[in-house]
Amino acid sequence: PATLGVLGGGQLGRMFVHAAQRLGYFTAVLEPDAQSPAGLVSHHHIQTTYDDPAGLAELAQLCQSITTEFENVPAQALQTLAQTRPVAPSAAVVGIAQNRIEEKAHFTACADVSGVTCAPYAVIETLAQLQAVQNERADLLPGILKTARMGYDGKGQVRVKTAKELAAAWAELGSVACVLEKMLPLTAECSVLVARGWDGQIVSFAPQRNVHVNGILAVTAAYEGNMPSVLADRARDAAVAIAQHLGYVGVLCVEFFVVDDGTEHGGLVVNEMAPRPHNSGHYTIDACDASQFDLQVHALAGLPLPQSRQHSPAIMLNLLGDVWLDANGQLQEPDWQAVLRLPGTHLHLYGKLDARAGRKMGHLTITGPDVDGVKAVARRAAALLSLPGLDAI
Ligand code: ATP
Ligand code: MG
Ligand code: MG
């Protein structure tokens, strides 16, 4: 059988492997960690660093085509692989998504076709730029200073209220390239999954509504009525336009803010994009007839992209390591018996061996015949596991 390759061994890679195996593909995962979620379930595990030329050559030699599950993989590794094999998404678009400065420039460049802009921002790469922002961009405060590269789950971000706090925050972040974004009055957040093939065929999912707690995704609500339909349509169209403008191949997730701008439904602002399947799309495994991982496999293998149909309303609850820690910080297995007695619960655990606070260990998706029932079960599950965020939906 043909083999599909993945750079990175995390849970996204693991769920990709599961989807690939269902279609009869073999998989190869390149990942330095011996006990990674994806490496443990893949046919081949090339255990080396992402920039090791010998490892990359072995991956290319084994695989028909290759993707990444880890957005901070060195873009150069994708470039190297692309010399001999189809790679999706490309090094060029992953490079854009890895750098908030380039990402925002891209969003701005395609604002005419996407119909959305990003939050007002300024680039801070030098002391002179910092001082110029301090003197001339009072409109950006209060704001959030974000490192241009390597941030995720709210890491690499500092909230600042004054020009003085801004200077301190930039120093605290190591004076690296950053963007200062204006703090917006969010009324909601959502994200859209798009899949695009080598031939330009494009399909999308309806927007899912997301709740973040401490900068980390806590809850995703995916059902009709999770947000006003005018906004949902605009978000979906915008994500499709952004993917097309990039010439993207594979699954792309675009995150949006809904802001209070005085209009009836609020305004839509594009936040950032992930060049891969996304945590907010995990509900598609249990609630849709083709999951985001199925679509990633189809895109990579050059198969037709089905327009996925959601057959059940769903709520996804993220399971961070905190769920395993008792009041004294001791590890304790949660009461899965009680959770799984609730109707429509689908437990996904990623096979990670050590639970740590804030670490993504798994997720729980609740599906059912109607939205009210799904919400009720989600609340009971959240109470059993002390999970936050549900009161926001
Ligand atoms: P991810 O894990 O999604 O990649 P990240 O670390 O890249 O997260 P962002 O998506 O930039 O971070 O921000 C994390 C969260 O912080 C957002 O989902 C939102 O709740 C809040 N946030 C970020 N930027 C703003 C802003 N300009 N105004 C208000 N809230 C914001
Ligand atoms: Mg991000
Ligand atoms: Mg984000």
| 207 prior amide bond cis, ω within 30 | no
Per cent of the chain over pLDDT 70 is 100
Task: Output the pLDDT for position 153.
Answer: 83
344 has a pLDDT exceeding 80 = yes
Per cent of the chain over pLDDT 90 is 95
Helix, strand or coil, per DSSP, at residue 379: helix
Supply the pTM of this predicted model. Answer: 0.97
Amino acid identity at 53: P
Query: What DSSP designation does 48 have?
Result: S
| Residue 125 marked as a ligand binder | no
Read off the tokens for 181.
């974004």
Ligand closest to Cα of 97 equals 2
Q: Which CATH number fits domain 120-182: 3.20.20.150, 2.60.40.10, 3.30.1490.20, 3.30.160.40?
A: 3.30.1490.20
Distance 272 CA to ligand 2 centre (A): 6
Helix, strand or coil, per DSSP, at residue 243: helix
- Give dist(CA 74, CA 93) in Å, integer: 12
Do the beta carbons of residue 185 and residue 194 sit within 8 Å?
Answer: no
Task: Output the pLDDT for position 1.
Answer: 77
The atom of ligand 1 lying closest to the CA of 157 is 6
311-323 per-position pLDDT tens digit = 999 999 999 999 9
Residue 182: which of 71, 127, 259, 109 has the closest Cα? 259
- Give dist(CA 377, CA 315) in Å, integer: 9
Q: Which residue's CA lies nearest to atom 2 of ligand 1?
A: 153
- Give dist(CA 189, CA 247) in Å, integer: 25
Q: Kindly give the pairing relationship between strand 186-196 and strand 208-213.
A: antiparallel
| Residue 154 marked as a ligand binder | yes
Domain locations in the chain as residue ranges: 3-87, 120-182, 186-392
Which segment of 23-37, 70-84, 187-201 scores lowest on mean pLDDT?
70-84
Distance 227 CA to ligand 1 centre (A): 19
Helix, strand or coil, per DSSP, at residue 81: helix
| Residue 153 marked as a ligand binder | yes
Amino acid identity at 259: V
The atom of ligand 1 lying closest to the CA of 152 is 6
Q: Candidates 118, 149, 254, 271: which one to mutate for ligand 1, based on the most atoms within 8 Å of Cβ?
A: 271
Read off the tokens for 18.
């599961």
pLDDT category at 353 given cuts 50, 70, 90 is confident
Q: Where are the alpha helices (DSSP H) in 27-99?
A: 53-62, 75-82, 91-97
Helix, strand or coil, per DSSP, at residue 10: coil
Same fold, 120-182 and 186-392: no
Read off the tokens for 84.
């001999």
103-125 per-position pLDDT tens digit = 999 999 999 999 999 999 999 99
Distance 153 CA to ligand 3 centre (A): 7
Number of Cβ within 10 Å of residue 321's Cβ equals: 17
Q: Taking residues 122-129, report their average pLDDT.
A: 98
pLDDT category at 154 given cuts 50, 70, 90 is confident
Sheet bearing 157-160, strands edge to edge: 121-124, 178-182, 143-147, 157-160
- Give dist(CA 103, CA 110) in Å, integer: 11
47 has a pLDDT exceeding 80 = yes
Pocket of ligand 1 (CB under 6 A): 119, 144, 146, 151-155, 181-184, 186, 189, 212, 215, 255, 271-272
Ligand closest to Cα of 260 equals 1
| Residue 146 marked as a ligand binder | yes
The domain over range 186-392 is classified in CATH as 3.30.470.20: yes
- Give dist(CA 17, CA 170) in Å, integer: 40
| Residue 164 marked as a ligand binder | no
28 has a pLDDT exceeding 80 = yes
Residue 110: which of 262, 243, 232, 309 has the closest Cα? 243
Read off the tokens for 266.
């609020």
Task: Output the pLDDT for position 310.
Answer: 98
Distance 274 CA to ligand 2 centre (A): 7
Distance 159 CA to ligand 2 centre (A): 16
Read off the tokens for 332.
């304790």
Residue 71: which of 108, 30, 99 has the closest Cα? 99
Number of Cβ within 10 Å of residue 142's Cβ equals: 12
Q: How far is CA 112 from CA 109, 231, 236, in A?
A: 8, 17, 15
| Residue 152 marked as a ligand binder | yes
Is this prediction's ipTM beyond 0.95?
yes
Q: Taking residues 296-323, report their average pLDDT.
A: 98
Q: How far is CA 220 from CA 147, 155, 393, in A?
A: 26, 20, 9
Residue 131 phi, psi (nearest 5): -65, -40
Query: What DSSP designation does 224 have?
Result: T
Query: What DSSP designation does 389 have?
Result: -
Fold of 3-87: Rossmann fold (3.40.50)
261-286 per-position pLDDT tens digit = 999 999 999 999 999 999 999 999 99
Residue 20: which of 47, 42, 37, 44 has the closest Cα? 42
Which residues, chain by chain, have CB under 5 Å from ion ligand 2?
272
Read off the tokens for 326.
């008792």
Distance 17 CA to ligand 1 centre (A): 29
Q: Candidates 100, 116, 144: which one to mutate for ligand 1, based on the most atoms within 8 Å of Cβ?
A: 144
Query: What DSSP designation does 102 have?
Result: H
64 has a pLDDT exceeding 90 = yes
205 has a pLDDT exceeding 90 = yes
- Give dist(CA 346, CA 384) in Å, integer: 15
Task: Output the pLDDT for position 151.
Answer: 87
| Residue 234 marked as a ligand binder | no
Ligand closest to Cα of 212 equals 1
Read off the tokens for 255.
């995150």
Helix, strand or coil, per DSSP, at residue 171: helix
pLDDT category at 327 given cuts 50, 70, 90 is confident
